[in-house]
Amino acid sequence: MPATTFESARPLLAVVVSLAAVPLIVASSRRPNLREAWTLVAAFAKAGLVVSMLPWVLAGRTAVCRLWELSPGITLALRVDTLGLVFALVGSTLWVLTSFYSIGYMRAAGEHKQTRYFASFAVCLSATIGIAFAANLLTFLVFYETLTFATYPLVLHRETPEAKAAARKYLAYTIPAGLALLVATAITWSLAGTLEFRPGGFLTASMASPVALRLLFLLFVLGVGVKAGIMPLHSWLPSAMVAPTPVSALLHAVAVVKAGVFGVLRVTGFVFEPGLLDSLSLGTALSWVAVVTFTLASLLALAQDNLKARLAYSTVGHLSYVVLGAALVNVWSWTGAILHLTFHAILKITLFFCAGAIYVRTHRENVSELAGIGRQMPVTMAAFAVASLGLAGLPGVNGFVSKWSLASGTLMADQRLFPLLVVSGVLNAAYLFPIVHTAFFRRSPAFPRFGEASPLMVVPLGLTAVASVVLGLAPNLGLHAWDLARAAAVAVTP
């Protein structure tokens, strides 16, 4: 099949459709049902547009949408390549489920200022798809920063002192990161004279001294590493759990943090040449940082009693699986990284959906208070159990497939990393299974009766749990997750 490039406005539509919904959402702030209808319309339209581009990518055709110059020589441009489509598919399809869930959650929890909430959410999704399709670093930076600041009102949402502190902390981490990325982008432009992402990278050893290139890589990692939760840049994420649970679910398990690891993938695969990463030992350095991060994060997760905090540390750990795969740059590690970007998203959103469902029914947030809840909310906790198995990497659930690929990648690249991957798998089980055990096998004497949350919440979490199992058995079913990951990995690796 010949690889062809053609002009299309569809990527642009996919980006702006949720942005266009913002004025409508704001204008219908006094009519909640109409307002939520706009969110749903935008979510379905966005997912439909993104999915409609899947056949192009599978056929080896690349849609581009070049708009106008942002700076002389640098165009605001979108490009639907394989990696970008994967991220866009994850973000847009999960947004559909999250929209239903959000409506159920926000109404059940009686949250205030819901218009601001839904409007910010829509902006976040535009930014996310923009990040996915950005054709060059400057376009990427524009959407990346838009996402940063569109998320701010969502972290601040409750307006309690705790929420304000979390929001400030969030900015204190993300603003310097954005500035690091700005400087890195400017240096790249002055060295290479181009910012276009290219599979296999465009920065070569001849462009600057090894020290300068190492510093540049460090700036890039600082820039995208905050959202990717690389230690020690991660601590905003557990604090940000003060946001309403749908935010934690879609943004702090999928869109925002995955934008960070997506950025790592773009930098290691599309900016720096893999050979250059190798010769400067940058891949090795980053992979060790990732290993330390997922080991420490899993240990910290063990210590958390607050359910969402435990899940947040778990997210920090799993993001670094993707970072590890991105850093090693071989076909298996990249396939694993991209699959894990997708599969962790589905698994972790399930867990957060469950945590939110438990919260609106019981107002309980701590693991120790969940004894016996499995009998009261059987569907929710069954979904929780399935997703836990997936994150621990048990065969039969999708997490196994991505971890298996990653493990093969480490065996090819650096076999010292492999045992650490195994250990962290065990730790995953150690911080998740006790929750399941407590929920189903412990009994609390004075436990009032609760039922399941509303179908608006239970159906989405059930669907993601079922999807985890289906993709665990047939990773390629439906949206071709395996083919896409494989194709993106082959394009990038030497």
Q: Nearest-5° angle of CA 220, CA 248, CA 302? A: 85
* Spatial distance between the Cα atoms of 275 and 293, rounded to a whole number of angstroms: 25
**Which residue, 142 or 429, is less far from other proteins as judged by CB?**
142
In the window 430-459, what residues touch other proteins (CB under 8 A)? none
Question: 231: closest CA among 287, 298, 296?
Answer: 296
Cα distances (Å, whole numbers) of residue 459 to 9, 119, 185, 341, 472: 34, 24, 43, 23, 20
Contact between 218 and other proteins by CB under 8 A: the answer reads no
Cβ atoms of residues 49 and 89 within 8 Å: no
Which residues share a beta bridge with 7? 64
- Residue 62's DSSP bridge partners are 5
Distances (CA, A) of 433 to 6, 386, 389, 393: 49, 10, 8, 12
- Does residue 169 interact with other proteins by CB under 8 A? no
One of 125, 167, 257, 309 touching other proteins (CB under 8 A): 167
Query: Under the criterion CB under 8 A, does residue 6 sit at the interface with other proteins?
Result: no
- Which parts of 52-71 interact with other proteins (CB under 8 A)? 68-71
| 62-121 residues near other proteins, rule: CB under 8 A | 68-73, 76, 116
Q: Does residue 457 contact residue 104 with C-beta atoms inside 8 Å?
A: yes
Cα separation of 88 and 68, whole Å?
22
Site for other proteins contains 187 (CB under 8 A):
yes
Query: Residue 416 Cβ, how far from other proteins at the closest point, in Å?
Result: 37
Per rule CB under 8 A, is residue 183 in the interface with other proteins?
A: yes
CB of 71 to other proteins, least distance (A): 6
Query: Closest approach of Cβ 149 to other proteins, in Å?
Result: 6
Minimum distance, C-beta of residue 168 to other proteins, in the bound complex (Å): 8
Omega of the bond leading into 161 within 30 degrees of 0 (cis): no
Is residue 175 a contact residue for other proteins (CB under 8 A)? Answer: yes
304 part of the interface to other proteins, by CB under 8 A:
no
For residue 189, the minimal CB distance to other proteins (Å) is 7
Q: Minimum Å distance from CB 135 to other proteins?
A: 15
Q: x/- string (CB under 8 A) for other proteins, residues 20-59? A: ----------------------------------------
Please give the residues from 127 up to 146 whose contact with other proteins meets the rule CB under 8 A: 141-142, 145-146
Class of residue 334 by CB neighbours under 10 A (exposed 0-12, middle 13-18, buried 19+): buried
Output 13 or 182, the one with its CB closest to other proteins.
Answer: 182
What is the identity of the amino acid at 395?
P
What's the chain's Rg over C-alpha atoms?
21
Of 129, 156, 290, 391, the residue at the interface with other proteins (CB under 8 A) is 156
8 A C-beta contact, residue 356 and residue 246: yes
**Which of 23, 59, 159, 455 is close enough to bind other proteins by CB under 8 A?**
159
What minimum distance in Å lies between the beta carbon of 175 and other proteins? Answer: 5
**Residues whose CB is less than 8 angstroms from the CB of residue 139 and which lie 6 or more positions away in sequence, other chains included:** 70, 75, 76, 77, 78, 130
Binding piece for other proteins, criterion CB under 8 A, among 168-176, 203-211, 273-281, 333-341:
168-176
Residue placing its CB nearer to other proteins in the complex, 181 or 282 = 181
Closer to other proteins by CB, 178 or 460: give it: 178
Q: Which of 11, 153, 263, 283 binds other proteins (CB under 8 A)?
A: 153
* Nearer to other proteins among residue 64 and residue 179 (C-beta): 179
| In the complex, minimum distance from the CB of residue 358 to other proteins, in angstroms, rounded to a whole number | 27
Contacts of 370 (CB under 8 A, 6+ apart): 307, 358, 364, 435, 438, 439
Per CB under 8 A, 331 contacts other proteins: no
Q: Name the one range near other proteins by CB under 8 A: 172-180, 307-315, 353-361, 443-451.
A: 172-180
The DSSP 8-state label assigned to residue 113 in this structure reads -
Q: DSSP letters along 322-353, please?
A: HHHHHHH-SHHHHHHHHHHHHHHHHHHHHHHH
Residue (72 or 110) nearer to other proteins, CB:
72
Which stretch in 185-193, 272-280, 318-326, 465-473 sits in contact with other proteins by CB under 8 A? 185-193
∠ at Cα 234 (232, 235), nearest 5°? 100
- In order of 26, 28, 203, 300, 473, the CA distances from 253 in angstroms are 26, 29, 31, 17, 23
Q: Length of the chain, please?
A: 494
Residues 191-210 that bind other proteins (CB under 8 A): 193
Instruction: With CB under 8 A as the rule, give the number of residues binding other proteins.
Output: 33
The smaller minimum CB distance to other proteins, of residues 182 and 299, is found at 182
Residues in touch with other proteins (CB under 8 A): 68-73, 76, 116, 141-142, 145-146, 148-149, 153, 156, 159, 163-164, 167-168, 171, 175-176, 178-179, 182-183, 186-187, 189-190, 193
